[in-house]
Amino acid sequence: MPPRKSTSKHKLVRNSDDDYEPAHEGREGEEEVGGTASGDENSRDAPARASTSKPKKGKVKALVDSEEEDYTPPKKKTTASKTKGKGKAAAKPRGNRGKLSAFTSMPLDVLALIVSHLDTKTVLACSRTCSSFRTLLHSSQGTSCWKAARFNTSRIPDLEAGDLTEWDYALLLFDGNCHVCHKPKAKTVDFYLRVRACAACMRSNSLRAEKIRGKIHPKAFECALESTWSPYYDDWGLGGERKVYTFFWDQHVRAVSRRLYELDGKPGFDEYVKERKRLKVAAKQDGSKLKNWENRFAMAKEDDAYSILKRRQAKIEASLIALGYTAAEVRGDAVRSNSLYQAKGELTDRAWNMAKPKLVAALD
């Protein structure tokens, strides 16, 4: 690598007093006095040797310090403050958080009055929203809310057996989760056995007496709730009578059996058997009432759906007539055969804005 050319900066550093070396003082004096040719050559080679030699630590540090003093860091990018004055702005709540704050601060008697105008399914959903609703609906004051909600839901009957609380009663009718595995969309309900279960759990737990294995107390089946079922097809037994099958809930039978073994031979055994038999008879009556209510509730839902559909169709026809179409055009097959005209649900402004272009295109 060829030697770097010397600069005035290097010469200045070379000739500075800080770099004075006393060991070469005599030789430099001879060269200055004698003025020989070798002295001239040495003087010409001196800058080259100075440029190729490594700089000392003191020089490097001095150069670095001077460069650091000349360095100015870039200014940080400033952003406009979103808040005026000192202090932080309050965080904006996300979604629907805080929308029910008015209900939590409301007196319980006012809240109970509002809830009493709802149906049972809505009250059950409200009981799961916050601790205030849950506390109210699980208290003695909430009993009147549940009874009013049952009256608003096609007059759900009162239970004669008294074995279920209002909360458990609502879960049986409208919860939708399996009571065994807790899976959603459990549509099979046995009002006589007081259970809701999915198809798999119903097959494995709703059994006939001979299918329940293990050590069972002799009076357990007399005291346990039972459900009867008869096939829809012709399955006639001896004597020309239709066969009737009796089913028990496996876990319930085993729980009653354990209690009977605990009380067997002790005071209170006869009272327990008597109470269980009374409960069994009352549960059969409640099951029949709930079957009738279920049919009545299904018919009421169909009537409500039909009235909602008619209101939707009337709004669509009125909106199209307001756009300039005649009643004959609006009530023709082009509109009535459209899926938007036959859709379920109320016609909101948003739904109309989405359906309007398609209906207009069908008429044009």
Q: What is the pLDDT of residue 218?
A: 94
pTM > 0.75: yes or no: no
Q: Residue 305 falls within a domain, yes or no?
A: yes
Average pLDDT over residues 90-94: 58
Mean pLDDT along residues 318-339: 89
pLDDT, mean of residues 81-86 = 51
Question: Which of the two residues, 314 and 78, has the higher pLDDT score?
Answer: 314
Provide CB contacts within 8 A for 152, sequence distance 6+. Answer: 117, 118, 119, 120
Q: pLDDT by residue (tens digit) across 160-171?
A: 998 899 999 999
Where does the pLDDT of residue 137 fall: very low under 50, low under 70, confident under 90, or very high at 90 and above? confident
Measured distance CA(14)–CA(238) in Å, rounded:
130
Candidates 24, 21, 13; CA nearest to 60 is 13
Cα gap 62→72, rounded to integer Å: 18
Q: Residue 311: CA atoms inside 13 Å, Cβ hemisphere, count?
A: 11
- Greater confidence (32 vs 140) lies with 140
pLDDT tops 80 at residue 75: no
Does 331 fall in a domain?
yes
Amino acid identity, position 237: G
Distance CA 287, CA 206 (A): 16
Percent of the chain at pLDDT exceeding 90: 44
- Mean pLDDT, to the nearest integer, of 235-256? 81
Is residue 341, in this structure, part of any structural domain at all? yes
- What is the number of domains present in the chain? 2
Which residues form the domain of 303?
Answer: 298-363
Q: What is the mean pLDDT of residues 46-69?
A: 49
Percent of the chain with pLDDT over 70: 69
Helix (H, G, I), strand (E, B) or coil at 73: coil
Distance CA 247, CA 226 (A): 6
pLDDT value at 18 more than 50: no
Q: Which residues pair with 229 in a beta bridge?
A: 245
pLDDT value of residue 73 = 63
The verdict on residue 19 lying in a domain is: no
Task: Return the axis-axis angle of helices 142-152 and 166-174, rounded to nearest 10°.
Answer: 30
Domain-ending residue, one of 88, 121, 153: 153
Q: What is the mean pLDDT of residues 191-202?
A: 95
Alpha carbon of residue 275 to chain centroid: 43
* Domain termination residue (choose one: 122, 153, 184): 153
pLDDT of residue 235: 56
Q: Across the chain, what does the average pLDDT equal?
A: 78
Domain assignment present for residue 28? The answer is: no
Q: What average pLDDT does this structure show over 24-30?
A: 44
Domain assignment present for residue 111? The answer is: yes
Neighbours of 276 (CB within 10 A): 18
Nearest to 113 by CA among 72, 88, 144, 74: 144
E strand or H helix at 81: none
Q: In this structure, is residue 120 part of a structural domain?
A: yes
d(CA 346, CA 315): 10
Boundary-marking domain end, from 153, 174, 193: 153
pLDDT for res 339: 86
Say if 321 falls within a structural domain: yes
Three-class SS state of 77: coil
Confidence of residue 231 (pLDDT cuts 50, 70, 90): confident
Which carries the bigger pLDDT value, residue 77 or residue 278? 278
Taking the alpha carbons at both ends of the chain, their separation in whole angstroms is 88
Contact 142, 108 (CB under 8 A): no
Q: Are 157 and 173 in contact (CB under 8 A)?
A: no
Quick one: which of 162, 159, 168, 164 has its CA closest to 124?
168
Element (H, E) at 85: none
Each residue's pLDDT tens digit, 258-300: 999 999 999 999 999 999 999 999 999 999 999 999 999 999 9
